[in-house]
Amino acid sequence: MTRQRRPAVRSAASAARKAGPSIPAASLKSAGLPGDVRIGGKIRHARLLRELSLKELAEKVGCSVSALSKIEGQKANPSITMLHRICAALDTNLSELFSGDDEVAIVTKASDRPMIETDQLRRGTGILLERLVPYSTGYLLQGNVHIIEPGGGSEDGLVHEGEEMGYVIEGQVELTVEGVTYLAEAGDSFFFRSNLAHSYRNPGDTVSRVIWVNTPPTF
């Protein structure tokens, strides 16, 4: 089923400024990341390796120098959208920023999978990501189970490199790609190129669970 829907795509700089530092430190710690992940320190290290000043990186990202300084100094945590833009400016991805040095197990028990809380929509009740592919540098795949509360979903107009596919385990997901909205229900699958502006939400009144895989890793 398809129906036309007016795309809601903001300018990159505007999106980054509105995204702002917003993820509570507790959310990062509860994500099950290896060790004590200090995302600000890793961003600063990546910036210095690329010989960029705070001002230069802030201009690339589309945020203020003050906001970026607070992020690097662990005084504020960036939103999901801000992290995507920082990674793009540094020519890296979130998997590398969050990666640890621990050996990765071949089999991960259901009770041991990291759970990542996000509230990147600013409407609805948000998303919980159940990590299927462990964090590690150099992986080609990223996979999560997206557990989407009724009304929850992503921000509008996400654009990045790669391809992604999904399989709806239960519930339904409304997927909008380049302004066209599609409804996928339990048992349905989807695929699209990530450089097409896209977003998704749960339009139903029950929790939706979607296996979501994309390459290369972007989060």
pTM exceeds 0.75, yes or no: no
Q: How many CA atoms lie within 13 A of 182 on its CB side?
A: 14
Amino acid (one-letter) located at 180:
V
In a domain, 40, yes or no: yes
The answer to whether residues 128 and 92 belong to one domain is no
Mean local confidence (pLDDT), 115-120? 62
* 123 has a pLDDT exceeding 60: no
Give the pLDDT band (50/70/90) at residue 163.
very high
Measured between alpha carbons, how far is residue 208 from residues 11, 104, 127, 212 in Å?
Answer: 30, 28, 10, 12
pLDDT for 118: 62
Long-range contacts of 131-138 (CB under 8 A, 24+ apart): 131/31, 131/32, 132/108, 132/211, 132/213, 133/217, 134/104, 134/105, 134/108, 135/33, 135/34, 135/95, 135/98, 135/99, 135/100, 136/95, 136/99, 136/100, 136/104, 137/95, 137/96, 137/99
Give the pLDDT band (50/70/90) at residue 62.
very high
In a domain, 103, yes or no: no
Q: Worst-scoring range by mean pLDDT, 128-137, 161-170, 190-199?
A: 128-137
Closest residue by Cα to residue 202 from 132, 166, 154:
154
Q: Which domain holds residue 32?
A: 12-98
Out of 53, 75, 98, a domain closes at 98
Q: Which helix (H) or strand (E) holds 14?
A: helix 12-19
In a domain, 106, yes or no: no
The answer to whether residues 89 and 117 belong to one domain is no
Q: Worst-scoring range by mean pLDDT, 94-98, 106-110, 204-208?
A: 94-98
CATH number of the domain bearing residue 90: 1.10.260.40
Higher pLDDT, 191 or 2: 191
The answer to whether residues 193 and 127 belong to one domain is yes
Higher pLDDT, 24 or 146: 146
